[in-house]
Amino acid sequence: MPDIEDLRELGSRMIAILGLSTSPVGVRFLMDGEVEGAEVLHRHRYCQALMRARHGRSVILNAEGISCPAAARAFGFRPLPEPLRTGRGLVSFGIVSDESVARRMFEDMPHLEMGAVKQIHLYPLEVAKHPPDLVVVEGEAEKLMWIVLSYMHSRGGERVQSSTAVLQATCVDSTVVPYIEKRLNFSLGCYGCRDATDMGDGEVVLGFPASYLPEIVKHLEFLSRKALPHSREKHAFAALKSDEQTGCSELTVG
């Protein structure tokens, strides 16, 4: 891992290159102990804690403060409540129509062991005071696409696989899966985080182990010199439109 000053610079460079409107978030899994300058949240979902951090706050979420029962199980804070365990909860929310489908979704949910962590520290990466375990980024799909490409470059071109149940997009898909499986995972979002946070219609989320951050930003720097601006300028699309207009003009004259 880079030192703290380098870590902050990497966060700032990611924001600048991609044009992110909010911060990449550092995520630390901790046992007991206070974190200086961090606000302990109460009655917050994990996705809401992530929202606070990407908008500039350093926050702590623990078993007492987390309000989402599915995320509480994902982080090993407490067991699933009976309505979620049986599947009735997702049927009542109108998410699925069959309890057996909901049960399977929760049975297959990646999670930490009970008591594996006591609290989660989330903070903007560009003002980090501690090295994170993970980096979670939320933003427009096009911007996060370049992070996935840069991660793939760091893995020698290996195709990137992703896992989701369209539930627990921030807590499981973008945090627990990257932590357990030590790889990048991305998600299109979910019912919960889209309802509970300011996530926009065109925004998605991903997470990756912080050890990949230097290589990801290094390749983002490379992409920013040619491929990224060229793609955003839509040269091929402009040529197609030009051809269409020329073709229409020729047809009209004929």
Q: What is the pLDDT of residue 254?
A: 41
Distance spanning both ends of the chain, measured CA to CA: 66
Q: What is the pLDDT of residue 14?
A: 98
Q: What is the pLDDT of residue 1?
A: 77
Whether 187 and 173 have beta carbons less than 8 Å apart is answered as yes
Whether 15 and 24 have beta carbons less than 8 Å apart is answered as yes
Mean pLDDT for 207-225 is 98
Quote the CA–CA distance of 30 and 125 in Å, as a whole number.
17
Q: Which of 151, 69, 73, 159 shows the shortest CA–CA distance to 108?
A: 73
How many residues in total does the chain contain?
Answer: 254
In this model, does residue 23 exceed pLDDT 50? yes
CB under 8 Å, gap of 24 or more: what pairs does 84-93 form?
90/167, 93/191
Q: What is the pLDDT of residues 226-241, one digit of tens each?
A: 999 999 999 999 999 9
Query: CA angle at residue 25 from 20 to 26, to 5 degrees?
Result: 145
Q: What is the pLDDT of residues 46-103, one digit of tens each?
A: 999 999 999 999 999 999 999 999 999 999 999 999 999 999 999 999 999 999 999 9
Pairing of strands 39-40, 59-62: parallel
Q: What is the pLDDT of residue 102?
A: 96
In this model, does residue 137 exceed pLDDT 70? yes
The three-class DSSP label of residue 207 is strand
In this structure, the number of other CB atoms found within 10 A of the CB of residue 227 comes to: 12
In this model, does residue 247 exceed pLDDT 80? no
Mean pLDDT for 246-253 is 58
Report the percent of the chain where pLDDT is more than 90. Answer: 93
The three-class DSSP label of residue 120 is strand
- Name the token pair of 184: 């990048």
Q: What is the pLDDT of residues 101-135, one digit of tens each?
A: 999 999 999 999 999 999 999 999 999 999 999 99
